[in-house]
Amino acid sequence: MSILGIDEAIRHYTLSLIRDYRINPYERVYCHPKTGYDLGLPSEEYVLIRGPEILLTCIYHGYIGQAFTVLPREYRGRIIDVLNMDLKEISNRGVFYAFLNALFRSLGLVDKTMHCRSYEPVKCGVKLASYILAKYGVGKRVLHIGYQPGHVEYLAYFLRDNLLVTDLRNDTVWRSRYGRLVYDGLFNENYIGASDIILVTASSIVNKSFWNIISRAYIMDKKIYLYGVSASAIAYFINKHTLFKINVFCPYAK
């Protein structure tokens, strides 16, 4: 299955929810972008401040769903139009998955669809490092896909050479962050083979790198964790309706 295959699977599943819950497909949805400044994030190291990613926020019946995207746009339109979007286009994917997060939350299927605020991403790093150490010890190699400074700071402190970090940004790749060299995310599949635990940014769902990462990690019997609010709806769908089992680590999401 490809990323477009999983896109189509969750699209059809969502259309079935619309029918089963008797939701009016012509109801309107509103989406708008937010930045790291809106969230009060503590450092320009965070991608929501330094760019180019923006947090797209969709509102449905008062419920909020969010997703990271590098091509944000304001959107006002009908549910049916969102569900029929061409998901080959990155600008559509942000709207699609942010809306799904809001819809699934409104139905009680997921409960964490809003990004954390202020210093909570730093606290998330402390909690993640504590969790990994308690569950796996310091002897396992961890691959952190996506540069989240709060995570990398504390994982690097405890894991040292057992932490690999990758990213896709030109101004981050091949540079040192908290004593760890950031590798090029274009070669994630190679680094997966050298790791035991894979921490995957939920942004990969929108940028279309998600399925290649997850499927390779699954085939190689790696422990897989998704972090970030973009993953709420799709993680629910994958865990419930496929053979894959994915953990989501996002303790401060709202």
pLDDT in tens, 52-108: 888 999 999 999 999 999 988 899 999 999 999 999 999 999 999 999 999 999 999
Cα separation, 35 vs 70, whole angstroms: 12
What pLDDT does residue 1 have?
Answer: 60
Contacts of 248 (CB under 8 A, 6+ apart): 112, 225, 226, 227, 231, 232, 235
Q: For the chain, list the domains and their CATH numbers.
A: 3-106 (no CATH), 120-249 (3.40.50.11590)
Tokens 């990271």: give the residue.
68
Taking 70 as the threshold, does the pLDDT of residue 2 lie above it? no
What pLDDT does residue 164 have?
Answer: 98
Q: What is the pTM of this model?
A: 0.93
Burial label for 19, CB within 10 Å (0-12, 13-18, 19+), is: exposed
- CA dihedral of residues 180, 181, 185, 191 (deg, nearest 10): -70
Cα separation, 145 vs 195, whole angstroms: 11
Cα separation, 236 vs 107, whole angstroms: 12
What pLDDT does residue 220 have?
Answer: 95
Q: What's the average model confidence in pLDDT over 190-213?
A: 95
pLDDT in tens, 94-145: 999 999 999 999 999 999 999 999 999 999 999 999 999 999 998 999 999 9
Residue 66: strand, helix, or coil: strand
Cα separation, 116 vs 77, whole angstroms: 27
Taking 80 as the threshold, does the pLDDT of residue 4 lie above it? no
> For 42-46, 103-107, 208-212, 235-239, which range has the lowest pLDDT when averaged over its residues?
42-46
With cut-offs at 50, 70 and 90, classify the pLDDT of residue 235.
very high
Number of Cβ within 10 Å of residue 15's Cβ equals: 15
Beta strand pairing status for 180-184 and 223-227?
Answer: unpaired
With cut-offs at 50, 70 and 90, classify the pLDDT of residue 206.
very high
Taking 70 as the threshold, does the pLDDT of residue 3 lie above it? no
pLDDT in tens, 24-36: 999 999 999 988 7
**Cα-Cα end-to-end distance for the chain:** 31
* Burial state string for 145-177 with b = 16 or more CB within 10 A and e = fewer than 16: bbbbbbbbbbbbeebeebbbbbbbbeebbeeeb
Positions of E strands within 185-250: 197-201, 223-227, 247-249
Cα separation, 1 vs 102, whole angstroms: 26
